Amino acid sequence: MTWMVTGGAGYIGSHVVRAFQEVGIPTVVLDDLSSGHEEFVPAGVPLVRGSVLDTALVADTLRGHRVTGVVHLAGFKYAGVSVQRPLHTYEQNVTGTAHLLAAMAEADVTRIVFSSSAAVYGTPDVDLVTEDTPTAPESPYGESKLIGEWLLRDQAAATELHHTSLRYFNVVGSGTPELADTSPHNLFPLVLDALAEGRTPRINGDDYSTPDGTCVRDYVHVADLATSHVAAARALTEGRELRRVYNLGSGDGVSVREIMTAMAAGTGIDFEPEVAPRRAGDPARIVASGEAAARDLDWRMRHSLTEMVSSAWQARQAR
Ligand SMILES: NC(=O)c1ccc[n+]([C@@H]2O[C@H](COP(=O)([O-])OP(=O)(O)OC[C@H]3O[C@@H](n4cnc5c(N)ncnc54)[C@H](O)[C@@H]3O)[C@@H](O)[C@H]2O)c1
């Protein structure tokens, strides 16, 4: 009952692989290392270096490792950059998913858990996003994730496919210090890199219609998120019915200024952030209910904001 984890050498994927390891489910990683790190794959877990776009390689891997299900995390995740690189984004996230599904059909693998994103909602005008909130992506990235969800749905209508898509909110922290988020565009690594290099972290806009004027987001710990992938894989293996999509959000909003305060406390570095103008396309607030996932996917916030900051800082220092 091996599961293939595409993108398993990346930030979230490497935590997912460890969550499977913890419960004794074997995995194989397929990753082209475009943004992942070979050393993130734990000893004893086979790494197949290649792209999900390579249908023959993927089908061979599925057959060769007797794979029974796939967690599909491989993709291009930079929403801002996707505006400048729409074709690349669509190729990696849409064509990549289509090729993966083709390889799965060829190898008779009928279970998949897909990494989707809060970006499918765009700028929702609600206090708490639920799975019924209308989708309205505002970037090629968000669009590509929504199309990925549709590909799973449509393939399931045409062939045997058991699937669910997990819409992640802001994923932060580290489950273990050797696994850091190395993204050059996410708030946590940006702030921690600035502090480690003696620069002053920056807030993009403090004139939003939020309590302290800075953007409010829903932060979730990567290790908590990883656990839900195992729960989803188990449910699909046992033939339990899952929803087509789940939000992995906490229900709590935290402002960028509150993050800065937590960063100062967690790193022991006293600083006053600079305030820069707003960035285009940043919604004022996006916070989600994770109730459905809590019911079906063992989704719980086991880690506090303090732990998110301190674990991310430890991983940044270990790098
Ligand atoms: N980090 C977040 O906050 C967040 C939020 C919502 C959704 N997601 C989604 O979660 C997934 C994982 O994100 P992450 O933060 O770990 O990013 P990441 O860049 O660290 O991981 C992506 C992994 O996929 C690999 N990859 C990329 N294209 C590939 C391809 N064509 N074939 C094989 N491997 C390929 C990369 O080398 C990397 O190891 C992505 O699909 C991302 O869109 C992330």
Mean pLDDT over 203-210 rounds to: 95
The distance of Cα 137 from the centroid of its chain, to the nearest Å, equals 16
Collapsing DSSP to helix, strand or coil, 232 comes out as helix
Please report which confidence band the pLDDT of residue 44 belongs to, taking 50, 70 and 90 as the band edges: very high
**Ligand 1 pocket, 31 CB below 6 A?**
yes
Q: Could you tell me if 18 and 176 are in contact, meaning their C-beta atoms sit under 8 angstroms apart?
A: yes
Atom of ligand 1 minimally distant from the CA of 172: 3
**Ligand 1 pocket, 48 CB below 6 A?**
no
Same fold, 2-171+219-248 and 173-218+251-288+298-313: no
Residue nearest ligand 1's atom 8 by CA: 117
The distance of Cα 255 from the centroid of its chain, to the nearest Å, equals 20
C-alpha of residue 191 to centroid of ligand 1, in Å: 21
Mean pLDDT over 198-221 rounds to: 96
- 141 assigned to active site: yes
**Ligand 1 pocket, 147 CB below 6 A?**
no
In this prediction, residue 112 carries a pLDDT of: 98
In this prediction, residue 100 carries a pLDDT of: 98
In this prediction, residue 185 carries a pLDDT of: 87
CA atoms of 238 and 80, how far apart (whole Å)? 39
pLDDT in tens, 169-201: 999 999 999 999 999 889 999 999 999 999 999
- How many CB atoms neighbour CB 45 within 10 A? 18
Give the amino acid at 266. G
In this prediction, residue 280 carries a pLDDT of: 76
Helices (H) and strands (E) in the chain, counts: 11, 13
C-alpha of residue 87 to centroid of ligand 1, in Å: 17
Tokens matching residue 16: 């997912």
Residue with tokens 């930030």: 11
**Ligand 1 pocket, 36 CB below 6 A?**
yes
Q: Could you tell me if 293 and 247 are in contact, meaning their C-beta atoms sit under 8 angstroms apart?
A: yes
Residue nearest ligand 1's atom 9 by CA: 115
CA atoms of 80 and 113, how far apart (whole Å)? 25
Considering the domain 2-171+219-248, what is its CATH architecture?
3-Layer(aba) Sandwich (3.40)
Collapsing DSSP to helix, strand or coil, 34 comes out as coil
CA atoms of 82 and 89, how far apart (whole Å)? 6
**CATH superfamily entry for domain 173-218+251-288+298-313:** UDP-galactose 4-epimerase, domain 1 (3.90.25.10)
CA atoms of 29 and 39, how far apart (whole Å)? 12
Mean pLDDT over 89-94 rounds to: 98
In this prediction, residue 236 carries a pLDDT of: 98
Question: Is pLDDT above 90 for 281?
Answer: no
Q: pTM above 0.75?
A: yes
Percent of the chain predicted with pLDDT > 70:
100
In this prediction, residue 301 carries a pLDDT of: 95
> Could you state, in order of their start, the residue ranges of all structural domains in the chain?
2-171+219-248, 173-218+251-288+298-313
**Ligand 1 pocket, 32 CB below 6 A?**
yes
- The residues with which 31 forms a beta bridge, in sequence order, are 49
C-alpha of residue 75 to centroid of ligand 1, in Å: 5
Please report which confidence band the pLDDT of residue 283 belongs to, taking 50, 70 and 90 as the band edges: confident
C-alpha of residue 77 to centroid of ligand 1, in Å: 6
